[in-house]
Every structure is written in structure tokens, then in C-alpha cells.
Structure 1
Amino acid sequence: MSKVFVIDQNKRPLDPIHSAQARQLLRNKKAAVHRQFPFTIILKKSCPSPEVRPLRLKIDPGAKTTGIALVDDASGEVVFAAELKHRGFAIRDAINSRRQLRRSRRNRKTRYRQPRFLNRTRPQGWLAPSLQSRVDNIKTWVQKLCRFAPIAAISQELVRFDMQLMRNRDIQGNEYQQGTLQGFETREYLLEKWNRECVYCGIKDVPLQIEHIHPRAKGGSNSITNLTLSCEKCNTKKGTKDIKDFLKKDPSRLEKILKQAKKPLADAAAVNTTRFALLNVLKSTGLPVETGSGGLTKFNRSKHYIPKSHWADAATVGKSTPILIIKGIKPLLMTSNGHGTRQMCGTDKFGFPNRHRTNKQIHFGFQTGDIIKSVVTNGKKVGVYVGRVLCRATGSFDIATKTGRISGISHKYCSPIHKKDGYSYGF
């Protein structure tokens, strides 16, 4: 299972320990809780500088979710695992909404102005806010983990798909292109693009075969835009038929397949756009950075018979991956929620102002977004509630728990667990 981070009195990271050892130190009052997420304890007594075993931080960047793992290269033990859920698409939608509101307001309030062009310049390396947020989220957690664990190296999945290898399978120059990794890049791309299911019958969780949409016997190419996935039954049934003849009784599915074949993979585009920006951020830490491809990650995971998940993909990134020990690992689930909004005037769905927000954020020592524990001893809502709090100046708070939202909890029953840092947590 995931271990507990330990730091000394000078806040230097020590070797992570088993949770039972952490409980014993806390019970004997030799340590105190320093942080809840990720759970970290701090020793109360000074100790001589012990030797620590270096760990490798492994990262599998994703458009929606990024996998994070801490691995001991010497023993192969996965010390810590986490999955970080980004809010890039939410940022994109919020920016689109803001743009629409501003355009509507300008049309109503200002005179006509001729359009201006080329009057805004962007610095070199600029990324859209929805993409920059992904890089910033990973940067934040790399810095946090470096404070709590003795990290000596970093591994990053730099390219999700090797586009050059997929277009030309006979390309020369690298060993992996003619070795054990041949075909993994193309298959992984197709699995992502076609949602890991047979395109003809929709079945999942069965062995899938790479299939030509337009058969090679009738002039079809090996281009990635002409490849899809099907189960063995559908592949045999289709044979060398043209897809239009094979699906003539199902025109909606035919249209969907032909449309998807030409459509680029949006998530892969987001990852590919931010990959080198993230690489520069990781190099700025001063630690050695190893890179690998998505095909290599899948090859390592398949070789070790590890079930697919975001944190497992992270643990198998790079050529340095040893034989992993993953027994009992329970990843920390982190969701990026942002730090709130600076918008003072709330609007309805038509863009007209209908409420005003105050700039005071802290009420009775709590702030919206804090994770708290509330023990209600009397009234209609007797019970124990743990979750993110929504504060009001009246002192009547709402708590978002796993089972739902609890309204009308007095601040007198609340005690803080984890101060707001822009993320929510779960297991």
C-alpha cells in the first residue's frame, strides 16, 4: 500500500514509512501530522542526517487525467501513486462564456468600431489557458512531492504516439522500430481513438484486431486514417468487403465511422501541445529527466501484467522501469477545482447581472474550498460530515460530502482538516 511521507524538524524529506509505523509514532507523540493530503508527518525530535533511498518520480501526462507514481528503482516498490484530474476543458468553456458575455455587452453599450487586426502579440512559448493549466497543475505537484520525498530523478511520457513510426512502419534508424516495440504505437493510438471497442458491433473487453476500413485488396492503404479496430468475428465477417457494402443496413454507424476516421484525436493533440513545455518545467528542477513514448509504457505494463490505470501507466514510464511491486496500492485521487473566481458581478444565462459577490472570502476562520469535519450533536442534522465547505457571512455553511451536499451547518460545529489549495481529494 502507499506509504506515509516523513520530514524531520528542518523539513527535510526522509524515507517514506509504512502506515503502521506512522500510527505508532503519532501514538507515542514522537511525530505530528504535518499535512493531510498527501498524508505527511513531521518528527518532533531532531535526528542525525540519515541516509535516504532516492526515489524516481514518474509522470504520465494526460489531457483529462495525469498519472503520478513514486518508484524505488532499487527494489521496484511503488511507494506512492496518485491521479490528477485537470480542469482544462472547464477553463475553455468558461473563457468561451466570458467572450460571449463581453461581445454581447459591447454590442449593447458601445458604438460601432472597425475591427482591428494584429494588435496583440503573444510571447514565445505561449499556451492557451486551458493547456497552461495542465502544465501548472503538474508543476505544482512535482514541487510538493519534492518537498515531502527524496526524489532524485524524474521520468516523463514525452510522446503519446510516435506519428512518424505509425505512418511508415518500415522506418529505419532506431532499435525499437524493428524490435519488440514495433506495432505498439499504432495499436495504442487506435485504442484511444476508437474508445477500445469494436467499431462494427460495439463490444468491449475482448481481443481487438487492427482492421482496414477500405480493404487493401481493393486499394486501401496502411495510413493511420484507414485503420480501425474490430473483434475477430466482425473482422472475419467483413473480409474484403467495402465498408459501404458491409454496413449498408446500418447507415448511421457507417457515417459515424467515416467521420471518426478523419477526425484527429483531440486529447492527443492537447498532450502533444504541452509535452515540451512540461519537459522544460521538469528540467528546471535540476533533476535528471528521462523520457519515453506511450508505446513503451504499454509494452512495460503488458510485460509486467499490470491492469491499465493512469497511475499504473505512470509507474511503467521509461526504459528504467524495474520489476514493479504494486501490492495494495491505493492511489490518491486529486481533482483540480481552481481557487474560485474574481468575478464580482454574477450573471444569468442571458448575460444580464442578477447578483453581486463580496470580496471578503474568510468567514469565522473558514474559506470556501477548505476541507473540514463537522460533528453535529443536536438538531435535525445530527451526524458527522467531512467534505469541502461553502462559507457564508451568516455562519451557516454548506458541506459537499461524498453522499451529497449538506446545507445549513453552523460554523460552531466545524473544525479544519485541510486548508484550500485548489484541489479536492479522494481515494
Structure 2
Amino acid sequence: MRVFVLDKNKKPLDPCQPARARILLKQGRAKVFRRYPFTIIMGDLEELECVTHNHQIKLDPGSQTTGLAIVQEKVVVWGAELTHRGLQIRDGLTSRRQLRRSRRNRKTRYRQPRFLNRKRPDGWLAPSLMSRVYNIITWVKKLTRFCPITGISQELVRFDTQKMENPEISGTEYQQGTLYGYEVREYLLSKWNRKCAYCGVTDTPLEVEHIKPKSKGGSDRVSNLAIACRKCNQTKGNQEIEQFLSGKPDVIKRILSQAKRPLVDAAAVNSTRWKLYNELKALGLPIETGSGGLTKYNRCRQNLPKTHWLDAANVGKVDTLYIEVYQPLLISAKGHGTRKMCRTNKFGFPTRYVPRWKFVKGFQTGDIAKAVVTKGKKVGTYTGRIATRKTGSFNISTKHGLVQGISHKYCSIVHRKDGYAYSF
């Protein structure tokens, strides 16, 4: 993965190879500007003295993880996977709502309900959904400061349910061409967890199957399609599901209920896709869009493994890609703490106070620090995200596990808290 480079006025230049970055640092021509993502700043170069190339930032938005990639012409020079915290936000809001209802039920039991005179603004989305949008926008803005980005590619539709039900009249090339069936099949594989709907077998070739046979009036709607192994598909033939699974009422009930149930992750992505598109459009860069079927087609055509960042690299129109990234940056959204004045138990009653000051000995929870312990039971070097205590004894989360009770005297800052955790 290449290293981002800034000129002496903090203007982005073309990313360079890690070996070249090491030479520049050793010669004293550059300094480390930022650790995550790793960025150096030149002391003797300006933007006008250098030639920069076009860089496209590509996005594969997901419900839990979003893929990010930067492509310089045909070369993938940077990749990352951004893990969202939408589920944590949802659980936190649910807990807060339950505790508030319990408290008001005790304290204001006989109070008349107030008139509902509040209206949500147009385009309102739940905070758990907006956090996904804000995470992506934050990183797009961050990367445009470190790299000369000239365009954005977004997978606007993961599963185009409208085209699956009734393809747009845009020529038979789309409906019966190389992309035909990719949207439906990928949607069904995700919906049925990549296993046979009837017997549950995995790691075997799966086929699209009609729950109600077409010969008996079944349609091609997604709610009538399932994924089945070859054996079950051939055995079922044109039987009704009640006849094929006679004696297994629980399996019949599960299949029929799951067939009509929308895909939860797809629903979250589809809810935020236009909001994200409009936010990206407001940045002023040209935007290219593509569908999930096109992304999969591009990836399979080049025999690339399925990962979030490689999916992002294949968004939109792609001919051939040259991969220079072997280990993407793993980014996890952690938030910026809470505003609670005290800690509570599971019933919402206060149990202990929260220290007033965020900073302890120059550190705060969320900083990435390096601790070199020279004496005691924990002699060694530890690098990771820290959690502070008022006493000055910190916890460090390393890739090998949690290390507790490290004195602040042994710690030095590597990367200041920015709401995210990083690893490789």
C-alpha cells in the first residue's frame, strides 16, 4: 500500500512507494505528518513543482462494513475497510428510551400525555443510519486532503430490487446480456446465507429455485425465489413446497416467512444510498455510480477474492486492475465517548461518578500510544488504543489482547484520538 505525500504547504501530491518514503525520511527531506493513514510531508517540494495524476476514490457502502479504495488510473494504490457502529447506536438509543419510559412511568404516572406537535424534517433518517453516512463522508473528506482525488465512484444500488422485479426498458443488452441474473442471484445468496434453503447444506454449488413452480402459476418475483443445492432442486422438481416437505411443517414455515422477509442489511444500505449520494455530490467532485451486480461481474472477471475493499475497487466501469495493496487498513468507528455525568446499572440507577476531566497526564481515552515498560511484571513494548484512569494507570488494547495497569510514565503518543481505531 502506498504512502500519502503532502508538499510543504500541505497540498496533496501523488502517493509514493513505502521504500521511497523510507528514503525521504532517512535523508531528512520529509517528516511523518500522520500515522493513520500513514502520511509524510515534504520540506522542500511544492505542488507546482510536481506532476500529479488522476485518482478515483471508490466506495462500496455496506450495513456493517464499507470498502474504500483509491485507484490511480488502473492501479489500486490504497485500500481500507471501515467498520460502522450503527448497531451500537441503535442499542444505545433503545436502552435510553426504555429507561426513560420506566422513569416517567414511576414519576409522572397520572400526567396527561402532551400533544404530538413535533415534525421530523424531510429526508430524516435514524441516527444509526446517519452514522454510516457520516463515517463515509468523514473519510472521503480526509482522503481528499491527503491525495489528489479527482472523482468518486459509489455503488449506489447493492441489490436493485426494482430491476429484479421489472427491468427498465433500456435494451436487451442489460436484460439478457452479461449482467443478466447477477443482481437476483447475489441478493438470494445473501438472503439465504449462502446455504440450501431446504437441507441447509453449504460449500456446494447453489441454484436459483422457484418455491412455487412456474408450471403451477409461480412467478419470477424475488419473494418466490430461493437458493437450493442441485440435489434438492432436482428432487423437488415441480412439486409444491407443502408436498416436497411433507412431514416438516417447521421447515415450511421458516422458508415461507424468510422468502417474504426483506434483507435487513440491504434495507439499511438502500435507505441511506441517496442520502450518501447527495452528501458526496455536495463535495463538488464528479460521481460515478454502479450496481452490486456490475461490481461482482468486474471482480469475478478478474478472479479476485471477495473482500470489501476489492469490491470497492471494482465499482463502476472497470477494464483491468493492478493491485498494489496486499493488506488493507482496518478502520473501526469508536465514537467520541458519552456525555453521561455518572455510570448506571442495568436498571438506570446511578452507581458511580464519572471523572470531570477528559485528559489525564496529557492522554485521553482513544489515543494510540506506545508503551515501553522497563521494569516490573509487564516488561515489554506495547502499542495500541489506550483507556485512561485518573490515577495515571492506563489500559492498552493491543492486537494480542488487553494489557492493564501501564503507568503513563512509560507511554508516548503515536496517534491522537479521532474517533476511530486502526489495525492491519
**TM-score, structure 1 as length reference:** 0.95
Letter in 2 for 1:404: G
Letter in 2 for 1:395: G
Q: Secondary structure at the match of 2:163?
A: helix
Q: State the alpha-carbon separation in 2 of the partners of residues 298 and 123 from structure 1.
A: 36
Q: Secondary structure at the match of 2:356?
A: coil
Q: Contact between 2:76 and 2:325, CA under 8 Å: does it hold in 1? A: no
Q: State the alpha-carbon separation in 2 of the partners of residues 25 and 252 from structure 1.
A: 66
RMSD: 1.5
Alignment of 1:126-137 (within 5 A): 126-137=124-135
Per-residue CA distance 1:100-142 (angstroms, 9 max, x = gap):
1111111222352222343111222221100110110000000
Q: Secondary structure at the match of 1:196?
A: coil
Q: Contact between 2:79 and 2:325, CA under 8 Å: does it hold in 1? A: no
1:157 paired with 2:155, answer yes
Alignment of 1:157-306 (within 5 A): 157-168=155-166, 171-174=168-171, 175-306=173-304
Q: Contact between 2:355 and 2:390, CA under 8 Å: does it hold in 1? A: no
Q: Contact between 2:7 and 2:43, CA under 8 Å: does it hold in 1? A: yes
Who is 2:377 aligned against? 380
Who is 2:40 aligned against? 41
Who is 1:364 aligned against? 361
**TM superposition shift of 1:288:** 0.4
**TM superposition shift of 1:182:** 1.5
Q: Secondary structure at the match of 1:45?
A: coil
Alpha-carbon distance change, 328 to 70 in structure 1, aligned in 2, over 3 angstroms: closer
Q: State the alpha-carbon separation in 1 of the partners of residues 249 and 372 from structure 2.
A: 58
Identity of aligned residues (%): 60
**TM superposition shift of 1:211:** 0.5
Q: Contact between 1:369 and 1:422, CA under 8 Å: does it hold in 2? A: yes
Per-residue CA distance 1:195-233 (angstroms, 9 max, x = gap):
122222323333211001122223222111010111212
Q: State the alpha-carbon separation in 2 of the partners of residues 395 and 58 from structure 1.
A: 42
Q: Contact between 1:165 and 1:177, CA under 8 Å: does it hold in 2? A: no
Residue number among 119, 133, 140 corresponding to 1:121 in the alignment: 119
Letter in 2 for 1:393: K
Who is 1:51 aligned against? 51
Per-residue CA distance 1:341-371 (angstroms, 9 max, x = gap):
1111211011211111123100001000101
Who is 1:10 aligned against? 9
1:100 paired with 2:98, answer yes
Q: State the alpha-carbon separation in 2 of the partners of residues 328 and 337 from structure 1.
A: 25
Q: Contact between 1:398 and 1:405, CA under 8 Å: does it hold in 2? A: yes
Q: State the alpha-carbon separation in 1 of the partners of residues 355 and 315 from structure 2.
A: 46
**TM superposition shift of 1:240:** 1.9
The runs of 5 or more residues in structure 1 that have no matched partner are none
* More off after superposition, 102-111 vs 366-375: 102-111
Q: Contact between 2:369 and 2:386, CA under 8 Å: does it hold in 1? A: yes
Letter in 2 for 1:21: R
Letter in 2 for 1:23: R
Who is 2:66 aligned against? 66
Letter in 2 for 1:156: Q
**TM-score, structure 2 as length reference:** 0.96
